[in-house]
Structure 1
Amino acid sequence: MNVICDKQLLVEAVGNVSRAVSAKNTLAALEGVLLRAQDGRLYLTGYDLELAISTAIEAKVLAPGEIVLSARIFLDMIRRMPSETISITSDEKMLTLIKGSLTEYTILGIPASEYPELPAVNQTTEISLPQAALKNMINQTLFAVAVSDSKPVHTGSLFDIKGGELNVVSVDGYRLALRREKVAFDSDFSFIVPGKSLSEVAKLLRDEEGDIEIAVSKRHIIFKAGSYNVISRLLEGEFLDYRAAIPAGGQTTVKISTRELIAAIDRASLLISDNIKSPLRLKFEGGVIKISCSTAIGKAYDEITCQQTGDDVEIGFNSRYMLDALKASECDEIQLLINGALSPIKLVPLEGDSFTFLVLPVRLKSE
C-alpha cells in the first residue's frame, strides 16, 4: 500500500474511528485501525466486536492495499507530524513507513486478513431525522442510562416509535429521562441501543442542517451521518414500561428558574461527597424552596423563591441525580410536579411535552 493524504483530514478520521477500538484485546488486530486504500480514497475502520465506526477521506493512492496499524501509536505519530501531508507506505512484510516532511516512523502492521469482518446488516427498517434533533435527544437522555449490569437492557436507551412520534427513554432505577420528537414514519416499532454507542454517535453529529439516516435490523443498527457509518449491536430484553412509570399530574406545581435552582443545589451539596452521602431536603412552602442538608461535616441551608401552586411538601433526593436532570433540560425555566414526599419529582418544560425527567425521592429521617 502507498498512499498520500492531508494531515488534518487523517488526524480527524483516525481520532474518530479510534473511539471504537479496544484498548486491550486478546486479538491484537482489534487494538488497531484498519486502513484500506483504493479508488482515490483511504477507508478507515475501528471495531471492538460491539461497535464499529468507519469513514473515508480523499487520498492520492499510488498503490492500493490494506493494513491494520496500532490505533494509539498511529494517532500519536500523525498528530505530531510537522507537515500538511502524510504518506503511508507498507510492504509485503507489513513494515510500514509513515512520513511527513523530514519526520518518519517505521512500525510493523498487522495483515488485514486478521481483522474481523463487520456484521452484515440485512433486512433493515430505515428512518431519517435531523442530525441536530437526534444529538439533542441523545444528550438529554444519556445521563439516565444505567451503568451497572444488574439489568443489561437498561444500559441502553429505548427508541420507541408510535403514531409518528419518536420517544427516546433511559432509566437506571433511580431516575428516568424521556425525550419526544415528531418523525415522518408511519409504522410502530422499537429497539434498544447501548448507551456507549449513542455517546459515540452524538460526538459525530453536527448541529447544522442535514439528516442522519438510521437503518435497523433485528440485531444491529447503522447510523449514517455525513461521511461516517456507526454500526452497533442492539440490546435484547424487556425494557421498563415507561408510560406506566410516569405519574400523572401533580398535587404541587412549581415554576422556577433552572439556573437559580442549579446554583442553590450546588451550594447546598458542598458537604456531600462520594464518601459522605446524605440526601438533600427540599421544602416547598408558600412560594419558597428551603434547601438543606446535614452530614458528618456539618449543615447547609439555602432558600430561593418560586411560583408555587398546590400543597406544601418536603422531599429528599440525591443531589447529583437532580442536578443531572436540571442541566439536561437545557431551558431557562422549568416546571416541577410533585405528588407527595414519596412520589418521584417530575421535571417538564413550561410549554409542550418535549421532555419528561423523573427523579426518585430518598426517604427522609425526621430531624
Structure 2
Amino acid sequence: METSGFNQKKLAILDDYFPNLKTGFRVSEFNYYLNRYLNCEVFSTRYDMHFDDYAAVYPQFKDRVKSFTEFDWSGGSYALFYSVFLGNASSFYFVYEMTNTPFVFELYPGGGYWINDADVDAKLIKVLQSPLLKKVIVTQKMTYDYIINKGFVSPDKVAYIYGMVTHPEYFQAPAIKKYYKRDKSTFDICFVANKYMALGLDKGYHIFIDMCKKLAPMANDIMFHVVGGFDKTDIDVSEIENRITFYGPQDHNFFPQFYSGMDIVVSPNVPFLLIPGKSYDGFPTGCCIDAALHNVGVFCTDLLNQNEHFEHGKNIFIIPPDAGMIAGSIIEYYQDPEKLYLMSALGQTKFREVFDFNAQMSQRAAVLEQFI
C-alpha cells in the first residue's frame, strides 16, 4: 500500500478501545491509516491495558499508538481528528473544540448511537451541527435516513459507505474448508456474537439454543458451537451438553481455522431489545460477514429490511426469529449439503465483492484525504 506523509500536521485518531486486539475492525481500519499516512497517530484511553499485546503483533506501528498522556493539548500538531462511533465523537468533542481542529467520524450502529432517544439525538445534534465537522461516514441506509430526515445534518456533510471493515487476511487464501461427509463426519452449526444483555436476547442466543434443542433429535451428527461471551450457565443446555462447545471470546486469528470446519452460521438477532425500541445492528452483522468470507452458509435475520445486496436462497438465507422455522430450514440443507455448499460458495463470492477490504478502506481514505 502506498504511504503518504501529507502535510506536517497529523491525522489523529481518538479512541476508547483500541489497541485491544479483540476489536478487530478497529485494528484493521486504524492499521490501514497508520500504514497509509506517515503522519497518523492513534491516541487511546485504554492504551496501558492493551498496548503490549498490540505491539507484539504490529511492532511497525507501536511508536505511533500512544496514550493520551502524550497528546499535544495545544492542538497545534493536528490537521484532523477521526473517531468511530457516536460515543467517541461525543466524548472527544471537547478536544475538537478546545484545539479548534476539524473532525470526521464514522457513525456505526451501536457505540452510543440508537434511534428515537432524546439524549442520543442531542449528542447527534451537537456533533453533526458543529462547524468543525467535515464529514460523517454512515454505513447503513437506516442510519442515513434517520439523521437526514430528522434534519440533524445536511446531505453534503454525509458520506454513505455501505458495509464495514473486516480483516484483510480474510480475503487471502483461507484455511482449507472441511466438507460434511467428505472431510468430516459432523454437520457443524455456529453462533458468534458478543454478549451485551442477559440471555443474549438482542443477538438471538436464546433462539439459537432453542433451535439446537429442536435439531438435535433430528440427526445425531449435528454439532453446535458458540463463540463469544456465552457459556452453559446462560441458558440450560444439559439436554445437548454433549453436542455443544463453548469457545469464549476470541480474536481474529482464531476464526480462519474455526470457520473452516463450520457449515452454517446462525444469527437470529432482533432489533430494539438491547435499548427497547431504539437499538439495532447493521446488516449483515460482523460475524456473518467474517463467516461468509470463509465459505460458511449465512442464516440471518433482516427484520428492518436493510438488505441491499444479497439474494435469499442464492447467496444468503434470511430467517425469521423463530427457532422451529430456522430448524426446519436448516434440516433441508442438512439433507442436501451440495445445495448448502453452492449457496455458501456464492455467498463467499458476493460478500468478498461487497465488503472487499481495499474497496471499503479506499472510500474511507478518500473522505479523510479531502481534509488532511
TM-score range, shorter chain: under 0.3
| Greater fraction of residues in strand | 1
* Higher helix content, 1 or 2: 2
- TM normalised by structure 2 equals 0.22
Query: Whose Rg is larger?
Result: 1
Identify the structure with bigger relative contact order (alpha carbons < 8 Å, sequence gap 6+): 2
TM-score normalised over the length of structure 1: 0.23
